[in-house]
Structure 1
Amino acid sequence: MPLLIVIAAILLLVVLVTWCKLNTFLSFLIVSILMGLALHMNISAITQSIQTGIGKTLGSLIVVIVFGAMLGKLVAESGAAQRIAGGLMQLLGPKYVQWSLMITGFIVGIPLFYNIGFVLMVPLIFTVASRTGLPAVYLGIPMLASLSVTHGYLPPHPSPTALVTYFHASMGMTLLYGMMLAIPAIVLAGPVFSRFLKGYKNVPSQLFAAKELPENEIPGMIPSLFAAMLPVLLLAFTALAKLWLHEHSTGYEIAIWLGDPLIVMLLAVLNGIFLLGLRRKMPMKKVMGIMDDAVKDVAVIILIIGGSGALTQLLNDSKVSDYITATIMAQHLHPLVLAWGIAAIIRVCIGSATVAGLTTAAIVAPVVSTAGVNPNLMVLATGAGSLMFSHVNDAGFWMFKEYFNLTVKDTIKTWSVMETIVSVTGLLGALLLSLFV
């Protein structure tokens, strides 16, 4: 019976978000309250669980998410992304223009929230398409595959960061493993798959034409790369340092402190303010304006994560999570396949990768300690499942269709297939990696 109640709650969440078009945060709260009542929880205990769940979840994540949005917006608005793309195209040459855009998407996509990255990077694709005469879809899929993978797989993006907390994983190791899986996923969904897309000659809408900054107004290549990649460098360095240093040494303690997500993102933002803003004589008022806009951009995602935290806490406080764990373990499914499958089903039903990942975590998190699976790989498998087959209920699907001026059918044959390749490759990579870690 408890399992049926949880399934009914998830179905209700899908109906409220997709059919009723209700705000996702409100939907999470309504579903949490109704599920608590159905599980015969005390009324006051239900509201206490909701408040505790929201507080616990956002307490450790909100700073990372907000700082990540600030850094990403600064990288894009300052022209650093434009510099990285131009430098890579010069380095790799016109023959490998797709690879240049793909690598740019990966570098810039790490700190840049997905929807913001889409809007800010797509005009760059159109500029390159007009310069080279190559189809915009052919050039765009590799960059957008990179943005999608970083959004689903890698901290400090909101969903992977939240999943790290839910599964008690290491952010540094998740990032390292995630990059190992991201490379083949991006290559297969990008340059390899897009070889079949040269026939899409659709002319993008002029409404989304790029506004390029003059060369003398954008930062240099080294500052641009360093600003965008500093979170990755710090997390990777501290994760490796902890493997080499003695556990009780001063160096080990410093590595733990520097590897804390809050410290990583704080240092990255301060570095970005200086390198991409103040060092280039950008007024502090303008820099702060960019950061204020970034906070507005992620306000909705913060509420969604808080709502998922409420649902998770209710599952724990009602003890139904223990029942679900026992039921799942009796099915003898590999935990990585289970997490991927649940996330994929919710993604196809509800459209949002973030909601799919966080809802799945609420269901399968207790399985991690019982099954003995690597928690970092659980983050990646869940993240990969949350990217599965984007279609008409996903905002990204419609953004791609309108920006690239495609029909719904052609959007499914390009965008939806790309997302599916990314998702399946992530699962296969996580299963393969589980044989060694």
Structure 2
Amino acid sequence: MTRLSVEMLAADPVEPITSAGHAQLGIAVLAGIAVIVLLITKFKMHAFLALTIGSLALGAFAGAPLDKVITSFSTGLGSTVAGVGVLIALGAILGKLLADSGGADQIVDTILAKASPRSMPWAMVLIASVIGLPLFFEVGIVLLIPVVLMVAKRGNYSLMRIGVPALAGLSVMHALIPPHPGPLVAVDAVKANLGLTLALGVLVAIPTVIIAGPLFSKVAARWVDVQAPERMLPARPSEDLKNRPGFGATLATILLPVVLMLSKALVDIIIDDPSHTVQRVFDVIGSPLIALLAAVIVGMFTLGRPAGFTKDRLSTTVEKGLMPIAGILLIVGAGGGFKQTLIDSGVGQMILDISKDWSIPALLLAWLIAVAIRLATGSATVATISAAGLVAPLAADMSITHTALLVLAIGAGSVFFSHVNDAGFWLVKEYFGLSVGQTLKTWSVMETIISVVGGGLVLLLSLII
């Protein structure tokens, strides 16, 4: 997926569903977000219902026809569940296999034995960064959640002390490092050198993930001192197990999707010919759905067989793995619906129109545009695509190094302050059992630190090289 164009990934409609001016749209955005926050915090309404009502309120304040608002919300909900929902479901099944077979215990026991309490956050950020290199953020979360929750519970750590470094590792990879789709589409849009962008991205990512992960987790744990939620915590395997799967087999099963997706990315870069048979094969086996599905199927043998699982026991495990995620799927889907309503209302285009008159340095302009679109639409991908398309002409007069830095500035801006219009916000909230306020204090602040530190390092590098 190297030859991606802005037009191919942009999901925005040609015509917005409302003709409201910039001022009215701005008020509508604030009103929609306020309704969601008020319903959840003041009236204790379920997040799915609050997001649905908030989307309708946004459309009403923007003056959009109600039928078009409903269509936008339904489209966003459907596309989010179709994309992320299947990955969450497969991840939940794999997580249940890991837990019931004793494989997760094997991983957790090994980590706890090898890492001291002081080094545990550093171990988690390293694991998340390695796993997150080729994976979409959502895939990384569903793979890491069982390990994060069990390490926090078994080691009696604050969930934030363990969870924030893991989230930081995944998010930094997602924002700054190709072959993630955001950085790749920005590389293509501004005609940057992929290898140089990757090298500079790693240079920026290392200090960024240290600050936003292990260091910030100390503060986050003081602000929000919570333990792993019991409802999401994998149950200990039953005592009737014949054996636990080995550490090597368990680790290989977890890393299988990572290897498949990384292989796809490398083949795409090396061959770069969509019609080539090898690339077409890897495009299939390295897709998130197939990669996770393969891990689930392999896990039935590498995890279930050593534990002595019968066919009936495997079927029961899959069924129980899916049961707890129904609410999460609806909430994440509704978050996607709210995001799509924002986009279809023309909020992203409003930001682009306003930013055309900003007279500031190109790298800072790229970061600010990405920040503004991220805040308004909740989508890091939309922010990256839109910002890259707008600043692409500026790259014509840049050196090869500064063009690569332009990509990183866009990526850093695209993750700024995730809040209620981001499906990822609800994913983190539900998995970690947090309130809206707690999620804002931890996840949202962590994302902002990644954006500001990453953007600052990019500007600093531009003065040096």
State the TM-score, normalized to the length of structure 1: 0.66
Corresponding residue for 2:398? none
Counterpart contact for 1:337–1:427, Cα < 8 Å: no
CA RMSD in angstroms, aligned pairs only:
5.3
- Would you say 1:278 and 2:305 are equivalent positions? yes
Q: Answer yes or no: is 1:72 the counterpart of 2:89.
A: no
2:71 is aligned with 1:33:
no
8 Å Cα contact 1:104-1:143 kept in structure 2: no
Q: Return the match for 1:326 from 350, 353, 361.
A: 353
In the alignment, which of 448, 454, 460 is matched to residue 429 of structure 1? 454
Number of equivalent positions: 395
Is there any run of 5+ residues in structure 2 with no aligned partner, and where?
A: 1-19, 175-179, 188-194, 393-402, 421-427
- Residues 27 and 61 in structure 2, CA contact (< 8 A), matched pair in contact too: no
1:235 to 222, 236, 261: 261
* Change in CA separation of 1:84 and 1:148 when aligned onto 2, cut-off 3 Å: same
Q: Is the 8 A contact 2:102 2:245 kept in 1?
A: yes
Shift of 1:83: 1.8
**Secondary structure of 1:280's partner?**
coil
Distance 1:262 1:69, change over 3 A: same
Any idea what SS the aligned residue of 1:334 has?
helix
Taking the aligned partners of 1:276 and 1:242, their CA distance within structure 2 comes to 31
Contact 1:357 1:382 in 2 (8 A): no
SS of the aligned residue for 2:390 comes to helix
- Distance in 2 of aligned mates of 1:77 and 1:181: 39
Corresponding residue for 1:82? 105
1:138-164 deviations in whole A, cap 9, x for unaligned?
xx6552223322564567xxxxxxx96
CA drift at 1:93: 7.0
- Write out aligned runs for 1:173-212 (5 A): 184-189=207-212, 191-192=214-215
The 1:111–1:281 alpha-carbon spacing in structure 2 relative to 1, beyond 3 Å, is farther
Structure 2 counterparts to residues 261-410 of structure 1, below 5 A: 261-315=288-342, 317-319=344-346, 321-331=348-358, 334-340=365-371, 357-358=378-379, 366-372=386-392, 381-383=413-415, 385-386=417-418
- After TM superposition, give the deviation of residue 313 of structure 1 in Å: 4.3
Unaligned 5+ runs, structure 1: 130-135, 156-162, 347-355, 389-393, 402-407
Q: What is the match of residue 405 of structure 1? A: none
What letter is aligned with 1:386? Answer: S
**Distance change in 2, residues 1:30/1:272 (3 Å):** same
Instruction: Give the direction of change, closer, same or farther, for the CA distance of 1:64–1:397 in structure 2 (3 Å limit).
Output: closer
**CA deviation digits over 1:293-324, x for unaligned, max 9?**
44343333433343344445445555554333
Q: Which moved more, 1:64-73 or 1:214-223?
A: 214-223
Q: Is the 8 A contact 1:28 1:311 kept in 2?
A: yes
Structure 2 residue aligned with 1:59: 82
Do residues 46 (structure 1) and 83 (structure 2) align? no
Identity %: 21
Question: What residue number does 2:245 align with?
Answer: 219
Deviation at 1:30, TM superposition (A): 2.9
Structure 1 residue 116 displacement after superposition: 10
Contact 1:385 1:427 in 2 (8 A): no
2:285 matched residue in structure 1: 258
Deviation digits for residues 207-264 of structure 1, max 9, x if unmatched? 9999866897432111111122222221111101111125132112112222222222
Letter of the 1:424 partner, please give it. I
Please point out which of 270, 276, 281 is paired with 1:249: 276
Distance 2:128 2:100 in 1: 15
Match of 2:37 in 1: 18
Residues 364 and 307 of structure 1, relative CA distance in 2, 3 Å threshold = farther
Q: Find the residue that maps to 2:356 and give its secondary structure.
A: helix
Q: Distance in 2 between matches of 1:301 and 1:175?
A: 34
Indicate conservation of the 8 Å contact 2:126/2:169, yes or no.
Answer: no
Change (3 A) 1:84 1:361: same
| Letter of the 1:261 counterpart | P
